[in-house]
Amino acid sequence: MRKKTKMAWSVALSAAMAAGLLAGCGSNGGAESTSGSTAASSAKTESSAGDTADTSDRPTYKIATVRWTDTWPTDFLHEGVMKEIEDKMNINIDWQVYYNSDWSEQKSLLLASGDLPDAFLGSICLTQADMAQNKSAFLDLTDLIEKDMPNLKAAFEADPELKAVCTSRDGRIYSLPKKLPLRPKVCGDVMCINQEWLDNLGLETPKTYKELEEVLVKFATEDADGDGDPTNEIGITNAAGSGLLSGDLRHILSPFGTMVSRDGNYMGLNGEGKPVFMPMEENYKEAVKWMRQLWEEGVVDPEYFTQDGSMKTAKQQADGGSQVGLI
């Protein structure tokens, strides 16, 4: 009975959040969890009891989520729509917040221990492989979607591919998908240029990749931040492991038609709609030549291919202003 309660809660939260990945877990943490409990002490986690009102009679559920860095806000977990969900469902949520730099190790420890939170929320928490290899730890949401999620059910019917991406080989659904439209002008997955540096140098926002190259060269050579040192600005930076066609490079090379999966999948469609292995295409080779040119012009951070994500973020969010022109 208790397991059914937990599954129903997982689906209810998913419906309300319409978030990326939510996997209900068959752990024993569930309602016995108490507010303020934390994950492993070696992990960089945060936990909150939520509101100051007396909610001690509510069941408490642990939900793990992963943030990219500790500079990313977590206040949204405890107020606004998330607080409304808690009140509407008459529950408490004990958020277990992990950071991406620790998550690989902590995830392995969690899955090995079997002492899992009641659910995972977010698109960077678990992979399909994680769930396939630990299938007994996760709850099948298939029937609950059919019974309690009419909007998602309708979306599945309208777009069978949406259902296919979250259906495992055994025909069951252990996590929920999200579908976002292409949003070229307003999206967290596009590049942004440093407007302050443009203003300092009297430059206009570039509209072509050649104009972008000219701007980035000026950023890297003409004291764009105005501190008197023309050598401490970085045109563009990234973190190691992002791959040539994922991460920032995936965007900066897109004018050449090299846009492929953000996960480094080098298969793509050419201009004729035919599947190709992108590195074999001439436009890919031209894109690589252009990136080499940017490197030779001093636009690319020397640590682009060696630094970790925290070093990249430190440069982008440095005290006194970003050290990077394009993010």
Which residues partner with 67 through β-bridges? Answer: 99
pLDDT at 265: 67
- Residue 276 CA to residue 39 CA, distance in Å, equals 44
> Quick one: which of 213, 214, 211, 230 has its CA closest to 222?
230
Out of 3.40.50.300, 3.90.170.10, 2.170.150.20, 3.40.190.10, select the CATH number for domain 195-326: 3.40.190.10
Give me the residue label for tokens 């951070």: 301
Computed over its alpha carbons, how large is the radius of gyration of the chain?
23
Beta-carbon neighbour count of residue 182 at 10 Å?
Answer: 6
- For the chain, list the strands marked E by DSSP: 22-24, 60-67, 92-99, 119-121, 234-236, 267-269, 275-277, 324-326
pLDDT at 254: 78
- Amino acid making up residue 261: S
> Quick one: which of 94, 102, 101, 100 has its CA closest to 40?
102
Task: Tell me the two tokens of residue 252.
Answer: 């900066």
Domain boundaries for CATH 3.40.190.10 within the chain:
195-326
pTM tops 0.85: no
Beta-carbon neighbour count of residue 1 at 10 Å?
Answer: 4
Consecutive 10-residue runs of the chain (327 residues): their mean pLDDT? 36 41 49 35 40 74 88 83 90 91 90 89 85 87 93 92 89 86 53 92 93 95 92 87 54 75 66 82 89 93 86 87 89
| 60-67 and 92-99 strand pairing | parallel
- Residue 142 CA to residue 156 CA, distance in Å, equals 12
Q: How many residues make up the chain in this entry?
A: 327
DSSP string covering 253-315: TGGGT----TT---EEE-TTS-EEEGGGSHHHHHHHHHHHHHHHTT-B-TTTTT--HHHHHHH
Considering the domain 2-165 in this protein, what is its CATH number? 3.40.190
Decide if 143 contacts 172 (C-beta within 8 A): no
pLDDT at 13: 45
Beta-carbon neighbour count of residue 46 at 10 Å?
Answer: 17
